[in-house]
Amino acid sequence: MVAPAVTMVHRLDQGPCCPHRPHQPPLDLGEDLSCITATFQYLHTSGWYWGSISASQARSTLLTKSEGTFLVRDSSHPQYMLALSVMTHCGPTSVRINLIQHYSRSGHTPQGPAASIEDNPLSTGKSDAAQRPPGTDDNGVLLKLLRPLHRPDTFPCLQHLARLAINRNTNCPDQLPLPNPLLDYLHDYPFHI
């Protein structure tokens, strides 16, 4: 199973991510909690959420995988909930997640900081000029999200794989001639990766 290619350039020189945000309405804590709960349910269903493994454990897991293989895990930084660990042309790299759904659907390079580098002394994310692909500079690493790495104990069932295939091929599952229980199952995980 291969997800559509997603490419991001992560800049290493930006420090902590604090983008300017326009005035937002007051937060609804109930809505936030509901969103967080739903997100973690989606992550557990995906099979590529690895929980509280460390950056070094993620690095060891990805070391023998091909470029573009990725997993999501809990962030070790207290201001971030999740981190993305991905095999790059420079080796395994971990970044803290700010936005992922937007870039996994759009497939374009973010214009602003999309993630902050995870504290990982084993992976600086820097490469020499001869190894850099086109479009990166001295402070960037090209992140390609090509295939999720499923945990061995949570590989998706055939039903979930069928749901992913349907989600990849339609934006309106409600228009399919399916019984309501199957439509509900499709709505339970509306993503294609």
SS3 content of the chain, % helix, strand, coil (to 5): 30, 20, 50
Q: Could you tell me how far CA 131 lies from the centroid of its own chain?
A: 24
| Residue-wise pLDDT tens digits, 178-190 | 999 999 999 999 9
| Residue-wise pLDDT tens digits, 116-129 | 344 333 333 333 33
| Residue-wise pLDDT tens digits, 52-102 | 999 999 999 999 999 999 999 999 998 889 999 999 998 999 998 876 444
Cα–Cα dist 20/22, whole Å: 7
Residues in the chain: 193
